[in-house]
Amino acid sequence: MNKSRSSCDKRASQPSVTRITRSSSSQARNLDPAENHSIGPGPCGKQKRKQTDSALAQDLSQMSVSRQDPLPVSKGKMSKGSTDSVQVGLSSGSRSDQDKSSVSTAKSSTRGGLASVARLVKLGRCKKVVVVAGAGISTASGIPDFRTPGTGLYANLEKYNIPYPEAVFNIDYFTNDPQPFFSLAKALYPGSHRPNYIHYFIRMLHHKGLLLRMYTQNIDGLEKLCGIPDDKLVEAHGSFATASCHLCYTAYPAVDAKHAIMNDNVPICTFCAATVKPDVVFFGEDLPQKYFLHTKDFPKADLLVIMGTSLQIEPFASLVNTVRSTVPRLLLNRYAVGPFERVPLRRGDHMELGDLEDTVRRFAEMLGWSVEIEDLMRSQETLSISPLISEPTPKRAASSSSEETDSETDSKSSA
């Protein structure tokens, strides 16, 4: 992630209206209002800112319930609204019985929704699929979500006496005390976990030539590890792949930063002696440039799949409201979130609630992809674990003209 070199004073003077940054409502409740305006730009510096398919609309009218107006699109700072960026479980403790009853009602009203969307895909009506994902897709890989009481990553930070859970991702709090984040980073650094069936389902969407783009809130790197090409992936909240000084943005070797953090040391910038951190987007920092692909992708989408997220972190959460009104939206999650909490749902909205991996497996079976995904998992894991053996030079030269990139090969749909 490229960073601009600027002083702290210059950062503070930039008007917030010229940037789109990550922040949370919990943060806003716990910070002085004046302090909110002083949160400077992040890793990427400053960022500037119907058509109707009648056949598809006819199918949608037969599949769903009454329509509601979409939620307003959020602009400006990322804030914690109706969902959470990196967790699929409870958003802030246990839901009330009334909430669960509402979810149950909503679920019954969309019975058959999974099959209906699978039918559209098989009929060739969905050729530009956008996937929006959060930490729920990684829990099957052994990575805890953030907020589930007792087991979530935030619960493990209580020993640091942080003022509120999201403070661990607050750039000002990090400046004063980086240790809580570094403790969290040790549990999230890529290398300790493997992609699961859900990741490979998304990879199969690409393999079939259907994936327009995947937007992930996760920083665990499992999407890339399972083979989703970089040009198909938007890591909206950054990653551990690079590191830099959080003040002057001087690049720092990511390997050295990881070694220091994993050994409970604090990596220090060689230019200004401030603390170095992985290029994960904190609350108050600018989103990466690649995030702004959404302005082209979402209007093009003909199917939106939302999985493993509680849609609480803005502006990411509002992306789901930017597809055309005729485009079906499918929520695969443990609980209803965001616009899917409304009963009845908007026409074209569908959700399947429960264990995410089980749901995705059923979806793959409906599409007839189960065997292919299992084969893909085995082949990809073999490549990841075992080093590739180079072929003799003459044979490589003879076949070089027919070689294709992974992205080119996968994007060709198999019959």
Domain range list for the chain: 8-48+56-384
Give the separation between CA 320 and CA 73, rounded to whole angstroms: 9
Q: Is 237 an annotated catalytic residue? A: yes
The fourth-level CATH superfamily of domain 8-48+56-384 is TPP-binding domain (3.40.50.1220)
Q: Each residue's pLDDT tens digit in the chain (415 positions)?
A: 444 444 444 444 444 433 566 655 444 333 333 333 333 333 333 333 333 344 444 443 443 333 333 333 333 344 454 333 333 232 333 333 334 444 443 443 455 689 999 999 999 999 999 999 998 999 999 887 666 666 666 666 777 788 887 888 899 999 999 998 998 888 788 887 899 999 999 999 999 999 999 999 999 899 999 999 999 999 999 999 999 999 999 999 999 999 999 999 999 999 999 999 999 999 888 899 999 999 999 999 999 999 999 898 989 999 999 999 999 999 999 999 999 999 899 999 999 999 999 999 999 999 999 999 999 999 887 776 544 334 444 444 443 333 344 444 454 444 3
Which of the following is catalytic: 237, 246, 294, 350? Answer: 237
Dihedral sign (CA 132, 145, 30, 335) = positive
Cα(267)–Cα(180) distance, integer angstroms: 14
Catalogue the E-assigned strands of 101-237.
129-133, 211-216, 233-235
Cis preceding linkage at 344, omega within 30: yes
User: Considering the entire predicted model, what is its pTM?
Assistant: 0.70
Phi-psi region of 76 (alpha: psi -120 to 50; beta: other; left: phi over 0): left
